[in-house]
Amino acid sequence: MKRSIGTRTEIQTNGDVAISVKNLHKSFKLPTEQAFGLKQAIFNRLRGIKGYKEQKVLRGLDFEVKKGDFLGIVGRNGSGKSTLLKILAGIYYPEKGEITIDGTLVPFIELGVGFNPELTGRENVYMNGALLGFSNEEMDAMYKDIWDFAELNDFQDQKLKNYSSGMQVRLAFSIAIRAQGDILLLDEVLAVGDAAFQQKCNDYFANLKKSNQTIILVTHSMANVKKFCNRAILIEDGKIIKDGDPKKVADAYTKLWS
C-alpha cells in the first residue's frame, strides 16, 4: 500500500526504516501590519509592502528513525521540534523536502481536540473514538478499560464542562492509548495529570519501550529522554545540532542554557 500527500508518503514494507526525513523546510508568514480594507491592501502591495515577514522554522532537516527506536526530540521553545512533529502527523505540510512513513502512525498531540463540553464523558468517549477511526463495537469492547485507566468511573455521565482540565486530559489520553499503531508520536504527554497518574503513564511507556514499537517523543524532560530513549536529536534554530546517545544529547541541551 502506498499513499502520497504532497511531499509526505505513507507506505507498508518489510524494511527496517520507519520514518525517513530528507531536506525538510518549513516557514510561517507573520503579519507585520494590518491592512484595513481592500484599497489599503492594494496600495500596500503597489508600494512593495508585503504586510508580513517570513519566519523559517525548519531549515533542511535530515534523519531516519529505525523501526523499534524510542527517539527523543528536544530543543528550546521555538526551535522547531513541535512543528516537526505536526508535519510528521500530517497537520502541517512542508514547503520543501520529503517524508516517508512506513507503517500506521498514531499522533498523541493536543489531547482532547474534538471534545464537546456540553456532552457527557460517556458521549465524548464514543465521539472521540470515532475521530480516531473506531467503530461503536470497538469502543464498546474497550470502554471499561478507558475509564479504569483514567480513574474517572464516577464521572462517566457528567457533562465534560464539569470536569477539571486535568480530568479532561486524563480521559483523552486514556482514549488515545487504545489506538493501535506502528509509530507513536508523543508531545509532552508524559506530563499528564497528578503524580500518581504520571507514574501510571510512565509505567505504560516503559512497557511500550519493551514492545519494539517505534516511538517519537518531543519533550523538555531530560530525565525522560535518558530513561526511555535509545536515541535523541537536539534541534536548535530549525537545524539538528546533535544526534545520537540520549545522555550526550541531554547534556548538550542543558549547555544551551548555560
In whole angstroms, how large is the CA radius of gyration of the chain? 21
Q: What pLDDT, on the 0 to 100 scale, is given for residue 56? A: 92
Strongest mean pLDDT among 81-95, 167-181, 235-249: 235-249
pLDDT 10s digits, 138-182? 899 999 999 999 999 999 999 999 999 889 888 988 887 877 778
Q: What pLDDT, on the 0 to 100 scale, is given for residue 4? A: 38
What average pLDDT does the chain have? Answer: 85
Higher pLDDT, 50 or 9: 9
- Average pLDDT, integer, range 218-229: 92
pLDDT 10s digits, 8-48? 676 777 789 999 999 999 998 877 666 556 666 666 667 66
Terminal CA-to-CA distance of the chain, rounded, Å? 48
Q: What pLDDT, on the 0 to 100 scale, is given for residue 189? A: 64
| 223-235 core/surface letters (b: 16 or more CB in 10 A; e: else) | ebbbbbbebbbbb
DSSP string of 220-241, one letter each residue: S-HHHHHHH-SEEEEEETTEEE
Confidence of residue 5 (pLDDT cuts 50, 70, 90): very low
- Average pLDDT, integer, range 37-60: 73
Q: What pLDDT, on the 0 to 100 scale, is given for residue 20? A: 95
Q: How far apart are CA 184 and CA 67, in angstroms?
A: 11
